[in-house]
Structures are given as structure tokens and as C-alpha cells.
Amino acid sequence: MSKAVLLFLVVVLAGANLALLLYGRDRGDVTRVVTPAPAVPVASIATSSRPAPVAPPEVRASTAPAPAPAAAQPAPPAAAATPFAADAGALTIPVQGVLPAQLRDTFSEARSQGRVHEALDIMAPRGTPVLAVADGTVEKLFTSVPGGLTIYEFEPTGRYAYYYAHLDRYADGLQEKQAIRRGDVIGYVGSTGNADPSAPHLHFAIFELGPERQWWKGTAINPYPVFTQPN
């Protein structure tokens, strides 16, 4: 085939395509080439500002994982009972002739200057004998502004101190480091110190001592249950 014929065919075909294109544009149905939108990365979807659909309450309730059971908590250790609270009668009531039923718990009562009493007041006539509550040693004989004439007794292990205050006087011959026995007369009820002279009484306290065994320093223990708790 000659070059002239080929050129003629090319011109004819080009003209035909141009005619079809113009005809289709007039009809509005020319096929368009659609460029696909770029794929959106998964990470972009996750961070989209559009809120995620929320399941209705009944669906959330059914699909939510059950809460893990709470770990069992160990029970707090039981408070260590003093040997006195566990054994009524372990100590002698320190005022001669006074019965347990006559005692009144004054341990938690308020005192002047915002203090708590932390002791037992045992009312009795002036001069009534004061008795050692247990075997022990006279650690200190001391005169103070609030307590007046006082006695500090240590029990044999050195763990506890017994404090007797507002005494009218000491027993004859009583001295520091002297061994005493339960029931011994060590002094007499009075109102020395800041006690009301019209209401003589014995101020009695129990202290659990620290490792230093300091007679003036310790943790107060309520004496009332010691003398009144049933056997």
C-alpha cells in the first residue's frame, strides 16, 4: 500500500473520531475517566475528628468486660492487749477499802490547758493508806506542781510504771530503789499539787515505758478496766 493511501486513511479516521467526540459532547454522555481518590491510611481514620459511633447502653453493658475482683485485704492486726486488761485483778486497787464498784472512769476526761486526764481519780478521805498495786521497785520520789507528792513504781520487767500522785505524805522510811510488794502501804491520800483541798483523792496512772525506761515518759494505759473487768 502506498504512503498516499495510508495518509488518506489516517485523515479519515481522525475526522471520524472528531465527529463522534463532538456528537457525544452534545448528548452529554461522553464517558469520563474518573481518577480514584487516594486511599486514606488507617491511622488517619483513627485520628479523625469525627466521633466514633457509640453503642447504646444495653450493648455497652453486655460487651463491657466484667470488673476484676478486688484483691483480698489482710485483716488489720488485733490490738495488743495489755496483761492488765486481759486479767482483771492483776493489780490491787491502790486505795485501801475501795471496791471496784466505787470507781469511776476518768481516763478520757478533759483537764485544764486542753489536757486529757489519762489517769484514774480514786476519791477517799485524807490520810487513807495508799497501797502498791503490784510487786516492784520505787523508781522515783518526786514533788511536782501538778502532782504534788508523787511515787513512780517500776514493775519487775521494767515495761510498765505505776504513778501515784497528790499524796498527803509518804509511808515512813520509803526511799528510791526500794523493793516493795503488792499491798504494801507506800503513802497516804491527800490533795497536794493542783488537787482541790476539799476533794482529797489518789491520782493513779499506768504507763508503758519506752526502751529508755524513763520514769517521766511513757504511753498511758487506762487503769479502769484493770480494776473492774470481770474475771
The domain spanning residue 195 has which CATH number?
2.70.70.10
Would 23 be classed as within a structural domain? no
pLDDT score, position 11: 58
| pLDDT tens for each residue of 148-203 | 999 999 999 889 999 999 999 999 999 999 999 999 999 999 999 999 999 999 99
Question: How confident is the model over 89-103, as a mean pLDDT?
Answer: 92
Would 189 be classed as within a structural domain? yes
Band of residue 216 on the pLDDT scale cut at 50, 70, 90: confident
pLDDT score, position 26: 47
Interior CA angle at 23 toward 17 and 25, to 5°? 105
213: left (phi over 0), alpha (psi -120 to 50) or beta: left
Q: Which three cell numbers mark 81? A: 492487749
Measured distance CA(10)–CA(18) in Å, rounded = 12
pLDDT score, position 108: 85
| pLDDT tens for each residue of 49-88 | 444 444 444 433 344 445 444 444 443 333 333 444 444 4
Would 104 be classed as within a structural domain? yes
| pLDDT tens for each residue of 105-162 | 999 888 777 778 899 999 999 999 999 999 999 999 999 999 999 999 999 988 999 9
pLDDT score, position 2: 60
DSSP secondary structure string, 134-158? SSEEEEEEEEETTTEEEEEEE-TTS
Would 211 be classed as within a structural domain? yes
pLDDT score, position 115: 78
What is the enclosing helix (H) or strand (E) of 16? helix 3-27
Do residues 229 and 85 make contact, with C-beta atoms less than 8 angstroms apart?
A: yes
Would 58 be classed as within a structural domain? no
pLDDT of 215 > 80? The answer is: yes
| Helix, strand, coil tally for the chain in percent (to 5) | 20, 25, 55
Band of residue 4 on the pLDDT scale cut at 50, 70, 90: low
C-alpha dist (Å) from residue 130 to 134, 147, 199, 203, 210? 12, 15, 16, 11, 26
Would 130 be classed as within a structural domain? yes
| Number of domains, the chain | 1
DSSP 129: E
Measured distance CA(74)–CA(78) in Å, rounded = 12
Do residues 144 and 215 make contact, with C-beta atoms less than 8 angstroms apart?
A: no
pLDDT score, position 164: 98
| Residue 42 CA from chain centroid, whole number | 51
Would 11 be classed as within a structural domain? no
| Residue 31 CA from chain centroid, whole number | 81
Do residues 162 and 155 make contact, with C-beta atoms less than 8 angstroms apart?
A: yes
pLDDT score, position 6: 64
166: containing domain: 100-228
DSSP 117: -
Would 33 be classed as within a structural domain? no
Q: DSSP 3-state assignment of 194?
A: coil
Q: Kindly report the number of other CB atoms within 10 A of residue 209's CB atom.
A: 19
Measured distance CA(164)–CA(131) in Å, rounded = 10
Measured distance CA(71)–CA(79) in Å, rounded = 24
Band of residue 229 on the pLDDT scale cut at 50, 70, 90: confident
